[in-house]
Amino acid sequence: ILGVPGSGFEILIKQIASNGNTLLFSTCETEEEIMSTMKRFGWNPENLEIVDIASEYAKRTLLVHGKRSSSYQRRIDLDLKELIAECSGGKPVEKGEEEDFLNMLSKRFTDSRIPEKTIVHSLDFFLDQYQQSEIIKTLHIMKMSNMKKKGAVFVSLTKGVCGELFERKMESIADCVLELEVIRKGTSFDRYLAVKKMKNYARKIGVARYIIDESGFVLETVERIL
């Protein structure tokens, strides 16, 4: 699922997650934010498991910042001789082991207990942390594992953040590609959903307008696609 800011694709993700047994890897919203939005739309999160990467990453970032600030302050308090002695004779700082978020995705997909539906929202986070080649390999692992389990995997990505080449690679891996766009017309905005790819069903591509109301994501003209 490709989306642009303002398209509401984060709402579509939650709406998809509200039906059936679902595992959601959330990198841009906390579990509390997700639950609050789903409650507002009246969606049931009973069968939803959330892996809150957003909160975990924020916690780690604040911890690292705190350590750097403490270290900086301590070095300010040392005189020059003490600082030279510490740098030349002290033990190197040992890095604590941190969980690899990308590796975590691969591991969960090899678990036989993984739900029938899995969502990764969004891939933008991983593109900031890992090489594109590593992400592509992980996506292939996810797809192969999912084919064996006959489930469904949804991956979201903000359009344009990673370059056209990477988007094309993503589209080649996916069985279905949805793109959400926002177009300004005068003083108003129109939202469009494009089905760019449907594997083995080339005739079922098209464009439809959609709105977001109190019930969530609603297509205005479903027949244009189906």
User: Using one digit for the tens of pLDDT, what is the confidence trace for 1-18?
Assistant: 999 999 999 999 999 999
Domains contained in the chain, number: 1
Residue 141 has pLDDT above 90, yes or no: yes
Whether cis (ω within 30° of 0) applies to the bond prior to 122 is yes
3-class state of residue 225 by DSSP: coil
How far apart are alpha carbons 170 and 160 in whole angstroms? Answer: 13
Q: Is residue 210 part of a domain?
A: no
Q: Any idea what the CATH number is for the domain that residue 63 is in?
A: 3.40.50.300
Q: Is residue 113 part of a domain?
A: yes
> Mean pLDDT score of the chain, rounded to an integer?
87
Percentage above 90 pLDDT, the chain: 70
Tokens 């999912």: give the residue: 146
Q: Is residue 187 part of a domain?
A: no
Domain of 43 in residue numbering reads as 8-83+100-174
Residue 177 has pLDDT above 90, yes or no: yes
Q: Is residue 180 part of a domain?
A: no
Q: Is residue 143 part of a domain?
A: yes
Q: Residues 6 or more apart from 220 whose CB is under 8 A from it?
A: 208, 209, 210, 211
Q: Is residue 224 part of a domain?
A: no
Percentage above 70 pLDDT, the chain: 82
How far apart are alpha carbons 27 and 118 in whole angstroms? Answer: 14
Q: Is residue 169 part of a domain?
A: yes
Cα–Cα distances in Å, from 15 out to 11, 44, 207?
A: 6, 9, 20
Which tens digit of pLDDT belongs to each residue from 41-72? 999 999 999 999 999 999 988 877 655 555 55
For residue 77, the number of C-alpha atoms closer than 13 Å in the C-beta half-sphere is 6
pTM over 0.75: yes
- In DSSP terms, 50 is beta-bridged to 24
Residue 37's pLDDT is: 97
How far apart are alpha carbons 226 and 215 in whole angstroms? Answer: 22
Q: Is residue 16 part of a domain?
A: yes
